Structure 1
Amino acid sequence: MDRGRRLSCDSSSGPIAPINFATDKFPFCIVWTPIPVLTWFFPFIGHMGIAMSTGVIRDFAGPYFVSEDNMGFGRPTRYLQLDPAFVNGGVVEWDECVSKASVVYGTRMHNLFCDNCHSHVGMALSLMKYKQYTNWNMVVLAFWMFLTGKHVGLMGFLKTWTPFTIVLITCTLVAIYLK
């Protein structure tokens, strides 16, 4: 796993701390966790947050509220570690942009379909111009996480996929029985 992985970037702040799964510290990561019932039926839909350089997670957890280090739907089960070298200004700019997006989303009403946790992460990445891209949005982020996100160990995998698998098997058995 990536337990001891360190990224390098041109920054005067020194080495970047590794991910610490035990304490839920995910430096420079987008993190994801399932939303009960919704993710059981649609496994690509979940709750998303973005971490500061220190690993502290920020997530738009509800109307007018950005949570810090306590995700709205539980501990992360998936993550994408990004490279701050793709941000002009490096670590400092990363943290400033995550903070700016969090301040903005602390003043917004939450909307499941239009302005949600994915939008918060998208704004942070757009502000920092991650990989020179300024149009990060919930659709791009949802697919990126679904297709390339890593699970936080076996328990993260099970928490993500077990409910969906149970629903799928149940629906299949009911369909066979009713046939």
Structure 2
Amino acid sequence: MKNYRIASEKINPEASRYPYCIVWTPIPVLSWLFPFIGHMGICTSTGVIRDFAGPYFVSFVFLLKSRYWMLDVSKVYTSGSNAWDTAVHDASEEYKHRMHNLCCDNCHSHVAMALNLMRYENSTSWNMINLCLLALIHGKHVSLPKK
């Protein structure tokens, strides 16, 4: 739980840093019709966002963040930021060699693979359906400081 509190304090929307988070943003028109559909990425322990942005392309940039869902690094099977970052890296390397498919191999699948590799919550059953639902339920809206 200590790691959860520390990571929470390091969330910085202005710098687009969301340590140990899954981030989500709407896709114009598609998300308006189906609010649970959007673009998803997963962040490293330092908050760098990795997302499967298109065919054979995993980026370090994520356009507009609308929601984030902070996960607890202590729920990683081997625990710790190194295991988290290794799983995010390995999933990203795998997805650099995949064709993007809107229906069955997409940004949600990339995030699911990272969670499965790290055995988050001792599970290897993460998929795009449960991620859609859980991100919608547990996600918090990004709010920028008022100027």
Q: TM-score, normalised by structure 1?
A: 0.75
Instruction: Quote the sequence identity (%).
Output: 56
Deviations 1:102-138 (A, max 9, x none): 0000000000000000000000000000010111000
In the TM superposition, residue 40 of structure 1 has moved relative to its aligned partner by 1.2
Structure 2 gaps of 5+ residues are none
Match of 2:83 in 1: 93
- SS, match of residue 14 in structure 2: coil
In 1: Cα distance, 2:121 partner to 2:21 partner: 14
The answer to whether the Cα contact below 8 Å between 2:14 and 2:144 also exists between their aligned partners in 1 is no
Match of 1:58 in 2: 50
Q: Find runs of 4+ consecutive structure 1 residues off by over 3 angstroms.
A: none
Quick check: which has more Rg, 1 or 2?
1
Match of 1:135 in 2: 125
Q: Which residue of 5, 8, 14 maps to 2:2?
A: 8
Q: Which residue of 70, 87, 92 maps to 1:81?
A: 70
In 2: Cα distance, 1:136 partner to 1:105 partner: 16
- SS, match of residue 15 in structure 2: coil
- SS, match of residue 49 in structure 1: strand
Match of 2:116 in 1: 126
In 1: Cα distance, 2:57 partner to 2:84 partner: 21
Aligned length: 141
Greater shift, 130-139 or 15-24, is seen at: 15-24
Kindly provide the amino acid, as one letter, of the partner of residue 68 in structure 2: Y
Deviations 1:46-66 (A, max 9, x none): 000000000000000000000
The answer to whether the Cα contact below 8 Å between 2:52 and 2:58 also exists between their aligned partners in 1 is yes
In 2: Cα distance, 1:75 partner to 1:66 partner: 16
Match of 1:19 in 2: 11
After superposition, the CA RMSD in angstroms is: 1.6
Q: Which residue of 82, 103, 108 maps to 2:98?
A: 108
Structure 1 gaps of 5+ residues are 1-6, 10-14, 156-179
In 2: Cα distance, 1:20 partner to 1:117 partner: 22
- SS, match of residue 141 in structure 1: helix
Select the structure with the greater relative contact order (CA < 8 A; seq sep ≥ 6).
2
Q: TM-score, normalised by structure 2?
A: 0.91
- SS, match of residue 92 in structure 2: helix
